[in-house]
Structure formats: C-alpha cells, structure tokens
Amino acid sequence: MRILAIETSCDETAIAVLSIEDGIFTLEKNLVSSQISTHAQYGGVVPEIAARMHTESLPLLLKEALDGPRPDYCAVTAGPGLITSLTTGVNAARALSYSLGIPLVPVNHIEGHVASNLLEGNAIEYPALALIVSGGHTELISIPEPGHYIIIGKTRDDAVGEAFDKVAKILGLPYPGGPAVSKCAEMGDAKSISLPRPMIESNDCDFSFSGLKTAVRYLSEEERSRVDDVCASFQDACVDVLVSKTLRALRTTGARTLLFGGGVTANRALRSAFTETMSRDFPMIPFYFPSLSYCTDNAAMIAAAAYGIITRGAIPPASSWKPNPQWHIDEPLV
Amino acid sequence: MNPTERTLTITDALGNIHTVRIASAEVMEGFGEALAAQCKGGELIALKGDLGAGKTTLTKGIARGLGIAEDITSPTFVLMKVYAGNKKRGDSAPLSLCHIDAYRLSTWHDLEAIGADEYIGHPDTVTVIEWPEQAGVLEHCAPAWSIAIV
Ligand SMILES: Nc1ncnc2c1ncn2[C@@H]1O[C@H](COP(=O)(O)OP(=O)(O)OP(=O)(O)O)[C@@H](O)[C@H]1O
Ligand SMILES: [Mg+2]
C-alpha cells in the first residue's frame, strides 16, 4: 500500500509518500517547504500569507511527490489548525483523490504527532500515553488501544510553545521563540530566578502556562535584564510542570509506553529531564522521542496515522466532513 | 508594584470613558461575567493590553457570563475560536462567543481571510477581539466596549 499525505495545518507545506509492505514502513518521499523565514518578518503566521504560500508550494511539492508509482490513498490534515491553511491542503487533496480515483483519508494533526512514533518502528504497548507539546497544543492523551484517544489533560490557557514564543517576545528575542529561549537558557542559571510552577499541585493532569508569561513580564528590571537566567528559569519551570503531570498521568492510566510529539519535544532540556526521571521512576516503561525532523510539522506522520485509519476500516465518507480548525482528537470529524 | 492589580479604561459606543480597578484574576473574570450580562447579541468587545495583561482571563469571565461551559483557551495559535452558547437567557436564543486574537495579524484583510467578519456584529454572537489595533479593527467597526488593560 502506498499513501500520499498532505499537511498544511499551519506554516509548513509538507507532502510525504509512505509505502507499507507487511507492516514495514518505507518513507519514499518526505518534502517540507518551510515558510518560517517569511513569517519571521511578521513575528508570526499571517493567515493570508500562509494560505498563499501553501498555494504556491503545493503544486511544486506535488509534482515531485507524484513522480513515482501511483499512490493507493491520499491523506490530509483536516484539523486542528488555521482554517485558511487547512482549506488549501484539503482542497488539493480532494482534487487529487478525485482525479486519481483513490480514497481520501482525513487525519487529525494531533493523531499525526502521536503516529510520528510509528515511523521509526518503535514497539508500542497499550495502553499508551502521549504528551503532545507544540505552539498550539499541550495535551496528555491516553491511548487504551490503537485509534482510541482520550484527552486526560490539556492546557487551560496558553500552549507551552506559545508561552516560549511570548516570553521570547517580552525579552526581545527573535521569532520563533522556542529555539531562541532554549539557546539562551543553556548559558543561564535555572535556579537563579524564582518562577511559579502553575498547577503543579492540582489534582488533575491539566496545565496552565499564561501565569508564567505574566510572571516574566512582572520581574524586576534588574532580573529581566539577565536574559539567560530568565530563559533558563522559565524553561526549568515549564519542564518541571510537564514532567510532573506526565508522571501523574502514567500512574493514573497504567500506561505501558510513553510517547512524545510536537515541536517542543525537540527541546533538549525537556528530553534530558524526561530521560532522567523515567529511568529513575519508571525503568520498565519504554519511552520514545521522535527524531527531530518528525517533531515539527511534517506529512510523514500524517501518512503513518492514515495507515492506522485505513487498516481499522475507519475512513469517513468524503461528503461527510470538512476541515475543522478546532477538531479535538477524541471527537469524530464533521 | 502588585503584579495582580490591573486598571481597566473602558470606552463605550457613545464615547463615555470610565476606569475600573481590578485586584486579581478572579475579580477580572467576575468583571467579564458582569459585562456579558449586559450583552444582547451583536456586541463587539475590543481588549487592548500588553502580553499577559489579562485579556484572555477577562474573556473567560465573559464566556462564563454567557453560560458557556467549555474552557476558554488562548486563541493566539488558531487566531479565532467559536463557542456555541448553551444557556437560555430570558426568552432570547443563547449567544455564541467568537474569540479572536489578532496578535499575529497585520491588516483587516487578514481578519476577513479567516472569516471573522461573518461573526462580528452577528445578532446571535458576542465577539471579543484581543489585540484589535494589530488588524485595524477600530477603523472598521465600532465596539460596544473598548477596554484597555494596564
Ligand atoms: N488582575 C488580573 N487580571 C487578569 N489576569 C491576572 C490578574 N492577576 C494575575 N493575572 C494572571 O495573569 C495572566 C494573564 O494572562 P492572559 O493570557 O489572560 O493575558 P493576555 O492579555 O490574554 O495575554 P496575551 O497578550 O498573551 O494574549 C493569567 O495567568 C492570570 O491568572
Ligand atoms: Mg490572550
């Protein structure tokens, strides 16, 4: 089976071709046309520009992706994301599926991040738990069996990647803020500035990051001028909360595998904190970080998720759905 | 400076200005709830203020006042979130909340590109927009309330 997948939920235009024989994945094409340098001029994603860039990039990437054997399925991200960007990808996918006469598989972007772990042949034992952290998402997802997702924790305000971007802005660092903050953090002292650990004691798996952004804003001028220390202390606070809530979720769900996904998983401090804690507290539970190229938005993960949907016979009729910018992973697409 | 104290400068549609002092995040939500009680549908509420001033926190209160049970999360990433109203208020239909964040936008045209103009002013919807100055909102519409948070 060969799946062509299109991902345009935010600022990356991405297309992948994944072939699967006897359950073995071979990634034949993995094309990403990053728009970040264009958006950096604006300090973020401008939807009109994003949609236009996708419209310009898609035909070029498609031409390259279709230069090979014909795909059997077309997969596309149908949400969550920016509505204009999603619509551009879905329209292209619909046209392709119609003209090639192949089924169209809508995929939830978050399910894609979870499935990024399948691309490297990791053995997942169920129930599994996934922590998905990015610019738009902070979610702990329990996966009792393949294809069954339950959101057991999420942010009540800002996503963790959003908090990184906004703290970078407050400190005058460049966009995107995540890499800028973690780079400064490497030179700072994480214990030198006291910042809150929002909701770390709460009796659930939810998160809150808006208070950290505000705490940075209200630091004294002297403290705020020590940019490296602020970054290190802020990153430390974020990682502390993420680790603590994930451990709570592992205990309450009895998960047997821990998966990670999303752009913030590229953060080195996060990786080393989890590696240390897991080998100390849960040495029997395997945990997987996707390779760096699969952490950020890509289409290979959408193809991997589509493979699961196809094998479960769960493709919805093409006429029953449209892109949904607020599609929750635990709800059907309508 | 007490980091939880905020001052709101509120300008209504007639140009009347008054200020309100808010002591905490809880009081801010309570203020939003009271504001929602005055809404009949079609209102636009513009929220100005720096990063972390409390615009989304105030919007959480507005949502509660409209009887919306869902968690209001930051719309910065997806730019716009719409929440269906679910409480009968008097005889009128429930009001939906359209929550827009123009932080990453740069023109009114961007707002049209995400379909926001279909919600602004709609009689069944209360629209809250953070960072209105980023998208030239005030040149295109007259908010029922324009609120600056410092
Ligand atoms: N008096 C107050 N009013 C509002 N929020 C307060 C107050 N005191 C403390 N806070 C805290 O400050 C934070 C405000 O963050 P919030 O996301 O609401 O700000 P915002 O103005 O929407 O920021 P952004 O520009 O990033 O959208 C929250 O964590 C809130 O609990
Ligand atoms: Mg906000």
Full-prediction pTM beyond 0.80?
yes
Q: CATH 3.30.420.40 occupies which residues in chain A?
A: 2-115+294-320, 125-289
Model pLDDT, residue A330: 94
Model pLDDT, residue B90: 56
CA of B98 to the centre of ligand 1 (A): 19
Asked if residue B145 has pLDDT above 80, the reply is yes
Contacts of A159 (CB under 8 A, 6+ apart): A133, A134, A135, A136, A137, A138, A209, B74, B77
Assign A33 a pLDDT band (cuts: 50, 70, 90).
confident
Assign A140 a pLDDT band (cuts: 50, 70, 90).
very high
Domain B6-149 has CATH 3.40.50.300: yes
Average pLDDT over residues A135-142: 95
Q: Could you tell me if A196 lies within 8 Å of chain B, comparing CB atoms?
A: no
Model pLDDT, residue A42: 57
Asked if residue A126 has pLDDT above 70, the reply is yes
Asked if residue A50 has pLDDT above 80, the reply is no
Mean per-residue pLDDT of chain A:
93
Q: What ipTM did this prediction achieve? A: 0.93
Give percent above pLDDT 70 in chain B: 95
Is the C-beta atom of B29 inside 6 A of ligand 1?
A: no
CA distance A76 to B97: 29
Q: Could you tell me if B64 lies within 8 Å of chain A, comparing CB atoms?
A: no
CA distance A162 to A45: 12
A and B: number of Cβ contacts within 8 A: 80
Model pLDDT, residue A53: 80
Cβ A54 vs Cβ A8: under 8 Å: yes
Q: In this structure, which ligand is nearest to the CA of B22?
A: 1
Give percent above pLDDT 70 in chain A: 96
- The model's pLDDT over A209-261, given as tens digits with 9 standing for 90+, comes to 999 999 999 999 999 999 999 999 999 999 999 999 999 999 999 999 999 99
Give the length of chain B. Answer: 150
Model pLDDT, residue A32: 86
Average pLDDT over residues A65-78: 95
Cβ B128 vs Cβ B76: under 8 Å: no
Q: Could you tell me if A109 lies within 8 Å of chain B, comparing CB atoms?
A: no
- The model's pLDDT over B63-103, given as tens digits with 9 standing for 90+, comes to 999 999 999 999 998 889 999 987 655 546 789 999 999 99
Asked if residue A43 has pLDDT above 90, the reply is no
Asked if residue A40 has pLDDT above 90, the reply is no
From A272-281, B48-57, B130-139, the region with the lowest mean pLDDT = B130-139
Fold of domain A125-289: Nucleotidyltransferase; domain 5 (3.30.420)
Interface test with B, best of A10, A11, A46 (most B CBs within 10 A): A46
Residue whose CA lies nearest to ligand 1 atom number 6: B25
Model pLDDT, residue A200: 94
Average pLDDT over residues A144-154: 97
Of B78, B109, B114, which is closest to A326 when you measure between CB atoms?
B78
Give contacts of A42 with chain B, Cβ < 8 Å. Answer: 104, 106
Interface test with A, best of B1, B26, B78 (most A CBs within 10 A): B78
Q: Could you tell me if B108 lies within 8 Å of chain A, comparing CB atoms?
A: no
Give contacts of B79 with chain A, Cβ < 8 Å. Answer: 47, 82
Tokens of A291: 């390779």
Asked if residue A83 has pLDDT above 90, the reply is no
Is the C-beta atom of B9 inside 6 A of ligand 1?
A: no
Average pLDDT over residues A200-205: 94
Model pLDDT, residue A36: 60
Tokens of A150: 């339950």
Task: Of A85-89, A117-121, A229-233, B137-141, give the range with the top mean pLDDT.
Answer: A229-233
Average pLDDT over residues A81-94: 92
The residue among A302, A306, A305, A259 whose CA lies nearest residue A31 is A302
3-state secondary structure chain B: CCCCCEEEEEEECCCCEEEEEECCHHHHHHHHHHHHHCCCCCCEEEEECCCCCCHHHHHHHHHHHCCCCCCCCCCCCCCEEEECCCCCECCECCCEEEEEECCCCCCHHHHHHCCHHHCCCCCCEEEEEECHHHHCHHHHCCCCEEEEEC
Is the C-beta atom of B56 inside 6 A of ligand 1?
A: yes
Average pLDDT over residues B16-32: 97
**CATH for the A2-115+294-320 domain, from 3.20.20.80, 3.30.420.40, 3.20.20.210, 2.60.220.30:** 3.30.420.40
